[in-house]
Every structure is written in C-alpha cells, then in structure tokens.
Amino acid sequence: MSGIHDLASQTETGKIPPLLGMRPGPRPAIRAEAERLDAISFDRIKVEPVGATIGAEITGVDLANVDDATFEEIRRAWLEYKVVFFRNQNISATEQMTFAERFGELEEHPFLDANEDHEQVVRFEKGEDQVGYENLWHSDVSWRERPALASVLRSIEVPKHSGDTLFADMVTAYEGLDDDLKTRIEGLRAVHDFTHSFGRGLDAQALAERQKEFPPVSHPIVRTNPDTGRKILYVNSVFVSHIEAMDAGEGAHLLEALCRQALVPEYQCRFRWEPGCVAIWDNRSTQHYAASDYWPRRRVMERVAITGERPV
C-alpha cells in the first residue's frame, strides 16, 4: 500500500507529471453522491443500485401496464440513478414506444436502420455479417441542436456471456474534477459534428446534403440538467470535433482529458443483458459503451429515443 501513497504524494508534488484531471486514490465526489442516493426511498417500486453512483435495477413493474403514480417513481429513479434497468419485460415495439412517449416526443434517427413497422424504433441487428461498432463512449446524437433527452433500449436476442452495455456518470465525473479545471472549462463550448462518425459511410454528395441538414452545433462543455439542476460534463470522443475559441493544440489536449473522464471505472456501471430486458438512460447525464465482444454471435436490440432540449 505504501507504493500507492508514494505515487499519490509524488504526483501531488510534481515529481511525476499527472494526466490532466486524473489522479490515484479515493474520489470524494463518489462518496458524496453514493451517500445522497442511499438516502432516497421509493414507495411503489423496488430499486437496487448497480454501481456506486449510477445505475439501478427496478423490479415489481410491468412496463406494458404502468399507472401514473408508478411512472412518476420510475421517472424519479431514472433522474437520480441516471440509468435504470428492468428484467422480464416481454413487451412489443409498440408497447416500448407507448411507454417511451410518456417521457416526451419520440425522434427518428436519420442514419440508423429502423424497425420495418416503426420509423422511431432503431434496430441494432448484429451477427456474422454485421459487426457491432457502438463500442466507443458517447452520448446519443449530441450533434443535434436538441440532443436526445433519454433512450429506451430493449433486448430481443442476446449472447449469454457477452454484449454488455456500460454506462458512465458524467454528473459525478464533473464533480470529481479539481477546482482549477472546473474554473478553466466554465463557459467554454465544444463543437459536435456527425461527419466523422455517421458521415464516413456516405458519398460526397450525400454527405454534403446531410451536412446542410445537420450542420455542426455548439454546446456548452458544462451543461445543466434542467430537471435536477445538476452540472454535467458534456463532451464525448465520438461526436466532438474541437473546443471553440481555443488554440487547436491546447484545445485538443484539454478535450482529451475531459473525454477521458468517461473511462474511469469508479464512474461506471455495467449491465448484462438477457432477452426481455429494458434500459432507460438519461442521455444528458450519461455516456454509454456497447461492448463488442460477441461477434460472430447474434445480438438484436431495439431503441427508442426521446427528443430533448437545447443544452444550456
């Protein structure tokens, strides 16, 4: 143990150059958030935490038949834990949409394949001929002027021992930054652009047309969740191209450090799917990563996203 303490001491005294925003040892922000969550109670649902500060499994609920009072508790748990999970939910795509619409207006994804009967339901059907490529930390459609509020993902066919989804708590990630770094990024904005992700499969003409439809957008690096009032570190390595009004080299270094916060295991939870599971995440407060360790086995999921507000 002395080696760990020596490393922390040497990092603090400058003998070992630290990675910006990263340090060994306990993270006080995790303790504060975990204690806050421990004090929360629910009357109509059973909630079992999955991670220290993010994720909870909810039981005793049939998502096809949720009364208003129970829905309000589910929504409160979703806001508090940032992502909630349900097992044994053998619901249809139509029932999935009906439940998702209680959060708000559904959006259509302009680049991903949809369920053949429902344009608002994105279908992820992977296997021998179609590999999974969602294994990068990201927040859904952050390149929209109004990124998704929430996503509701349903498992249809999943491998037994692979294909998990990981989630990162970007609220506690922000709280875990040191005060100097918080001050440095306050008021900064980053540019989000689909071009280097979904644009890679388009020819020049199609890309130009899509770029007119979805031009790069500027969002604050630190956004506020209007439902909770809490600040969120809102950058990701997939869709953010650069930080506005900053030297390119300095901005790239800072952006890398901020994106790296999603990689911290202490800020994460991991969910192992079974057929008939549903996950609902607050797309503002989280990032997610779909582990692509199941090829060539089949993994079939369907997702519905809810339109959100302009980040502020």
Instruction: Quote the pLDDT of residue 21.
Output: 62
Instruction: Quote the pLDDT of residue 117.
Output: 82
Cβ neighbours of 114 (radius 10 Å): 14
DSSP code per residue over 142-200: TTSSS-EEEEEEEEEE--SS---EEEEEHHHHHHTS-HHHHHHHTT-EEEE-STTTGGG
Q: Yes or no: say if 118 and 112 are a contact pair by the CB < 8 Å rule.
A: no
303: annotated active-site residue: yes
Instruction: Quote the pLDDT of residue 24.
Output: 82
Distance CA 165, CA 72 (A): 25
**Residue among 189, 219, 288, 299 flagged as catalytic:** 288
Instruction: Quote the pLDDT of residue 169.
Output: 98
Cβ neighbours of 68 (radius 10 Å): 7
Q: Yes or no: say if 191 and 216 are a contact pair by the CB < 8 Å rule.
A: yes
The tokens for 147 are 């990124």
Q: Is 125 exposed, middle or buried (0-12, 13-18, 19+ CB in 10 A)?
A: middle
Domains of the chain: 2-307 (3.60.130.10)
Which pLDDT tens digit goes with each residue over 23-68?
788 899 999 999 999 999 999 999 999 999 999 999 999 999 999 9
**Residue among 138, 154, 284, 299 flagged as catalytic:** 138
Instruction: Quote the pLDDT of residue 2.
Output: 36
Instruction: Quote the pLDDT of residue 6.
Output: 36
Angle (nearest 5°) at CA 27 between 26 and 28: 110
Which pLDDT tens digit goes with each residue over 188-197?
999 999 999 9
**Residue among 27, 109, 118, 140 flagged as catalytic:** 140
Instruction: Quote the pLDDT of residue 19.
Output: 60
Stretches where the chain sits below pLDDT 50 are 1-17
Judge if pTM exceeds 0.85: yes
Only one residue has tokens 């644009």, namely 199
Residue 72, helix vs strand vs coil:
helix
288: annotated active-site residue: yes
Distance CA 3, CA 98 (A): 55
Strand partners, 83: 281
Sheet architecture: strand order including 148-157 = 46-49, 56-59, 83-86, 278-282, 148-157, 299-307, 118-126, 114-115
Mean of per-residue pLDDT scores for the chain? 92
